[in-house]
Amino acid sequence: MLTEDRVKELEVLQNKFKFKFHDINLLNQSLTHKSYVNENINENLQDNERLEFLGDSVLSLIVSDYSIKRFINYSEGELTKIRAAVVSEANLSLIARELEIGRFLLLGKGEEMTGGRDKTSLLANAFEAVIAAIYLDSGYKEAFDVLINILNDKIDKVAGYGLHKDYKSELQELIQNRQSSIPQYKVSAEYGPSHEKIFEVEVIINNKVCGVGIGKTKKEAEQSAAQKVLEEFENTEFRSQNSD
């Protein structure tokens, strides 16, 4: 039985993942290192190694599933390189640090004293275990949505896709130089199931819709919309009508 304080701690981590467990014990197990189990035999605990084993496979499948749909023109070799980079121990440990997973780990005294909360391998393994816990708790679809919400920008960056130019910043700078307003972005439509959703976003300047973009994430759709407005600004007539 988890203590009230431990449940509150785990609620903080659930908020970071934007996911609510039905069985909070799965999350607790995913954060339980074998060193803690060995020092607390009477508590009848299970460590996270089995979850880590499952999480490794779930993670690879989700990244593969997302990538093959996201990068339709990429070869098998290119997709393999993307997956390898994303699921690497180094990358997963960085994500775990961003989510502050280390502070929620249950460690034995020896592991604690040797800096276990910030060990690259331990953090990467814990992240995989949490993904497995989400999968066991709520199924593949939920695990997919949670993981891609965390990883989509990182996958795109690894793939070198659509992140070489920040159209939103360029548009904002242009508009602020010409007007006192700031471009606003509004989701105008969403299509498809949650794990393959397409977003349609409008960019609004001075209460006028000046461009519409689509993408598999809101950020991608916003960048697409900003890019289209910038292309329109290359037209002299458009520029004269919107620079008052």
Q: Which residues are catalytic?
A: 56, 128
**Of 3, 129, 118, 117, the residue nearest 55 (C-alpha):** 129
**How wide is the angle at C-alpha 152 spanned by C-alphas 147 and 153, nearest 5°?**
135
User: What would the two tokens of residue 228 be?
Assistant: 């289209």
CA-CA distance, 234 to 72, in Å (whole number)?
A: 30
CA distance 127 to 94: 10
- Joined together, the tokens standing for residue 215 give 């993408």
Q: Which residues contact 238 (CB under 8 A, 6 or more apart)?
A: 232
Contacts of 73 (CB under 8 A, 6+ apart): none
Neighbours of 130 (CB within 10 A): 31
Query: Which runs of consecutive H residues, i.e. helices, occur in the chain?
Result: 4-17, 24-30, 34-39, 49-70, 76-86, 89-98, 109-113, 120-138, 140-159, 167-178, 218-233, 236-241
